Structure 1
Amino acid sequence: MTATTAAPRPVRLINYLAYGANDVLGAGAMAVISAWVLVFYTQFCGLSASQAALIFATARILDAIASPLIGHVSDGFGRTRLGRRFGRRRFFILAAIPLLPSFALMWLPGMGFVYYLVSYVLFELVYALVIIPYETLAAEMGSDYPTKAKFAGFRILFAQGSAVLAGFLPLWLIEWLGRDSADTFFYMGVVFAGLFMLAAGGLYLFSWERAAVAAPEPAPGSPLAGLYRNLASTLRIRAFRLHLGLYLGAYISQDVFNAAFTFFVIFALAGSTQIASGLLGTMYIVQFVAVLIAIQVALRAGPAAAYRVAAASFALGVVTLLVQWTLGIPVTSALIWLGIGLVGLGRGALNYIPWATYNYMADIDEIVTGKRREGSFAGVMTFVRKATQAVAVAGVGLLMDAGGFVPKAAVQSAGAVHTLAAILGVGTLCVLAAGVLISLRFRLGPQSHAVLMREIDHLRAGGRTPTSPQSRQIVEDLSGWRYDQLWGNNPVGK
């Protein structure tokens, strides 16, 4: 396949499937890591919760630095010989495929702190080589709202399918290998590494990039300074700032929940690793169904309203789990399934909505700058996500240690259990509340996006005044700039 196309190409089912399947890597890896890495390090490798959190945080911070660089480089990579041959985005995906087995190396039992730190950092960098270009491709292959919404829908459906596997696979392996076998996680890593390679290969074969458009020129002076000026300029787009708030509210709340949930089941509800695995798998099945519902609700009521409904469901599920613990109701009770169901319904929708809106950010940026900077936006998304996720999960580990958590212990103290419950409840609910408050100011939807695209065509054709007062209001609300400052008449991206 060629790297770019001179005219729009029809998007077929195979393209949607190939695009969506790559989130087996994007979301699948994160589902496995967020649910199991602290358990693996503390319960099977003997690391303290603080050591495990330090590994996670260090890898995330290094990746948060590398990811914007990859996005920035990919925006201008089409000017190189390799970029012209393999694609300015898709070259990085191709290069990363033989490195994806590094995921399995993270889960080798019996190693020390330094090994787990290095192997985790290595995988995070390989992950970024695929995910940053991947996050640009929906905007590259699609231009209208429904097409981009379908890309987001296929992506999140595959993401939830991989999360189901992340939940149930340890349970199946435990039944096969035995409850105390650390090899459970290594074999899980091998299975997922194989799936990652297949998904990335399919994405490369069945994706493309739009014909070359105005790309950011290298900034004068220090390349590194130019990089961060360009990335920081994405935050001058109002809708993108609000989008980041929605995204972090949805995903960081899940990071906190995931990091604490397995421990909460084992030590607060007196369950086991097998029970926690089955509950996670069930929750992810519900999330899969919730995505199908969220697609329809977001198209009809708008993404912001759907976000608030989803957050309320997630919060109610968390409260249900805390009530079960407070009342001493056993983990085998039917009440836990109500809590898991509500959590799954909310999380599935919260996974879909931010990615559905993300696909339109480069369009809003284009009306401000007159350029296409998908890679820069993908880099900033990953930078902010990884940096805040590092803080969230590291914070969970540090709080667990402060609360008296003891690695490899079969029973934890009352103080440690109360700390786990507080993390699961207060931590999750506070982050969700922040996302809901931001959603009240977010007004991107199918109608406003259609107006945006008409105004882009109008400006591209030489127009300088808005086509209507309503169009002016919509575009200025989304962009955060006056109409006369649009289409490059501003310092953004320069």
Structure 2
Amino acid sequence: MDTQKKHDGWNEYRNRKIYTPRGKIGILRSTGYGMYSFIGSAVGLICYGYISFFYTSFCGLTPMQVAFLLVFGRILASGVALWIGHFSDSLYRFKFGRKYGRRHFFILATIPFFIYAMFIPIAGLNFWYYFITYSVLLAFFNTIHLPWTTIPSEMTDQFEVRTKMGTVRAVVAALLNTIAAFVVARVLGAWPKDDPKIYLYLQIGLSIVGIIFALITYYTTWEHFVTKNEAALMELDQKQGSNISASRWQNFKATFKEFQEIFKIKTFRKHLFIDGADQMAGNLNGLILTYFIVNVLGLNPSVTAYLSSLSTFIGIFIMIVAGYVINKYAPRYMYGIAYGMALIACTGFGILGFVMPGHLVTWLLVAQTFYIFGGQLYGFLPGTVFPSLPVLDTLLTGKSRAGTFSSLAGLFEQGGFVITNLLGEGVLQLSGFKSSTSGAADQSPTVKLVLTLMISVGVGIFFLIAMYNGLTFKADKTKLDLIGQEVKRLQDGGVKADASAEVKAVTWELTGTDYDKITGWK
């Protein structure tokens, strides 16, 4: 009997390190959490930042062929985004999920993903090879990390600590990207610019480093262990039928019902539009930047990596300050500054493309400096604010659905990527862009004009949308802490009738729901 209790497939795992808080969450532990963010550089520097340029300059693909594989990959990613958060939340149902963790399982799954990325930047193959391999890569590149983003909310319920983790994570990501991008720039600058093999060599090195950092995150963080009692409560609204197809259909409907419930939360809806619009702006800028640098300004492709390195290096100091300020002032003020700076940069890129002044690199750095200040803030803010938003849903429903929040946010990001890639690559194709297999080809004045307009006016429109929603974002530390305290009071057995007038007012302001109409607490 004792042996059966010890190996029950459930409680036997509750004392594993991934479930055990191990001291204060300080700078070092937050750094361990942030190491995983290198996935953005390990895969993104080559397989995202240079991929459109690589495919059109060394693989002979047209812009619309590139758009086709990018869009299809993002459609797959949207499907994965719909599934991965709900699946992560429900992983406690399976023995392997209880053993390796609902969130930590996906950190381990990143290791084969890094290996897979090595098969992307290979020249001389046919369209279908690139279509299949890159579509699969995109399906997981922007989704496999989503469960990881919920770890701060599992490690602590304090806004200030979560903000510290988010700040350190952003600084670590910036520092690692600075080093990685600088190394990539130096190697590309020293290597013959018409030799595509260097992109493969660089990806192999980046993937190996990424695997090491993912393991560091796995062993330095923890998550909440779902007990049998908690599992029973989470299953209360979901009757599991014996028919597999029926169960899948029930899960499908349950997922969309959860999305509908979450989307009704006013603050989170604002967050989705902020994050989605600035992601679209960043995606379009990233898609066009290398083309703009090479085909319009006539500079070496390595300049793109140098700009990335400079951006993230300066961003380190910006985010350290931002992490402090966001605890003192409402995020909406910082959103205004971030998107205002980004709009100035868009204007600068436009002037560069139309005027073509002397000392191009110097003026490009000036424009990029504004983009750095704005970009680092708008890249930092949504991810730092996000871990504190699921508490609003917990107040309304009594449930913990941080993974589902991540899925819906990921779905918006994937949708934005599809739109910007169809827009960018489609317009580029219509303008008469010429592809090559031996390096960048000379482009017509029309193509150069289109590139300049997209990196200035096109990107600027998305930043304006993000700015409007950012300036009307009402959540801040004081209000979210108040909601967190109310949730804890209810979890400890408190009754709704004892809620203060302030709690009711903030609930309405942040969620759009009348506190007295909340039905998630009995």
Deviates more, 1:348-357 or 1:194-203: 194-203
Corresponding letter in the other structure for 1:439:
G
Q: TM-score, normalised by structure 2?
A: 0.88
Instruction: Note the 1:36-435 alignment, pairs <5 A.
Output: 36-127=50-141, 130-165=144-179, 167-212=181-226, 213=230, 216-217=234-235, 219-220=238-239, 222=249, 223-330=251-358, 332=360, 334-408=362-436, 409-435=440-466
Q: Confirm or deny: 8 A CA contact 1:60 1:387 kept in the other structure.
A: yes
Separation (CA, whole Å) in 2 of partners of 1:366 and 1:11: 23
Task: Between 468-477 and 51-60, report the one with greater CA deviation.
Answer: 468-477
2:38 maps to 1:24:
yes
CA contact (8 A) 1:264 1:421 kept: yes
SS at match of 1:465: helix
The one-letter amino acid of 2:199's match is F
User: 2:6 maps to what in 1?
Assistant: none
**Which residue is 1:479 aligned to?**
511
Distance 1:226 1:443 in 2: 29
The answer to whether the Cα contact below 8 Å between 2:42 and 2:209 also exists between their aligned partners in 1 is no
Distance 1:468 1:474 in 2: 10
Kindly state the Cα deviation for residue 342 of structure 1 after the two structures are TM-superposed: 0.7
Deviation at 1:470, TM superposition (A): 2.3
List alignment gaps of at least 5 residues for structure 2: 1-14, 240-245
Q: Distance in 1 between matches of 2:107 and 2:321?
A: 31
In the superposition, the TM-score normalised over structure 1's length comes to: 0.93
3-state secondary structure, aligned to 1:210: coil
Report the secondary structure of 1:488's partner residue. Answer: coil
Partner residue in 2 for 1:441:
472
- The structural deviation recorded for 1:298 is 2.1
Name the % identity. 20
What is the number of residues matched between the two proteins? 490
- How far residue 466 of structure 1 moved from its aligned partner, in angstroms, is 5.6
Confirm or deny: 8 A CA contact 2:332 2:473 kept in the other structure. Answer: yes
Q: Deviations over 1:416-458 (max 9, x none)?
A: 1111011101111110110111123211111111211122123
Q: 1:209 to 1:163 in 2, by over 3 A?
A: same
Bigger CA drift: 179-188 or 94-103?
94-103
Give a deviation string over 1:213-258, Cα, whole Å, max 9, x none.
4664373552222222223322122111111111122222111111
Using a 3 Å threshold, how does the CA distance of structure 1 residues 240 and 8 change in structure 2: closer, same or farther? farther
Distance 1:144 1:27 in 2: 29
CA RMSD of aligned residues (A): 2.3
* Counterpart selection for 1:457 from 485, 488, 491: 488
Deviation (angstroms), 1:344: 0.6
Gaps of 5+ in 1: none
**Residue type of the alignment partner of 2:302:** Q
Structure 1 residue aligned with 2:5: none
Q: Report the equivalent of 1:10.
A: 24
In terms of mean alpha carbon deviation, does 153-162 or 47-56 score higher? 153-162
Counterpart CA distance in 2 for 1:335 and 1:7 is: 50
